[in-house]
Structure 1
Amino acid sequence: MSVERLIAMDQRLQGIENTVRDYQGQFSSLQSVLKDSHSSLAESLPKRMGDIITTSAPRMGLLLFIFIGVQLLLAGAYVIYKRRRANGPKKYL
């Protein structure tokens, strides 16, 4: 009985070895595909990120226009406030 078990175990072990050999080729091809994908991504990612940042970042001219516009609006509101206050009725005459 033990000889039959050894033969069965040997056949199962050979089947496992054949399966591992088959998968070994697939794993090596998967590894090469992943390596190629990683290298192409590593090469193109910095350039692509630079393009994204330059195209989607707010422009400096727009930012300066907003700052100057807000300052002019505040200055205009202050001037209007002072004129109304000066032309309004006096509390104590």
Structure 2
Amino acid sequence: MNLNSFSLADFLQDVSAAGVKIMIKIDHERSRARGKPWTVLLAAPQLGGSGIVHWDLRTLEECIRVVVARLQELPGDWDLLGLYVAAE
């Protein structure tokens, strides 16, 4: 994925407009401790259970890939994700 041609702001807004809350953060301390400084969290009723899932990952690119893959598993129209998958 080339983040130089990828608009993170557009991605976050599109996911949010589809009814999914998304948070991405980086924690330098966790980077040194476990090598996975990035956390991505999704919250939406269609995720089932508590409606919240999160992952700790090594890179921002991994965060985007995991979010796209997880959302594509959900029911609904996720055609907008094609804009971001094509960025890989």
Q: Larger Cα Rg: Structure 1 or Structure 2?
A: 1
Per residue, is there more helix in 1 or in 2?
1
Higher relative contact order (CA 8 A, sep 6+): 2
Query: TM-score, with normalisation over the residues of structure 2?
Result: 0.21
TM-score by length of 1: 0.21
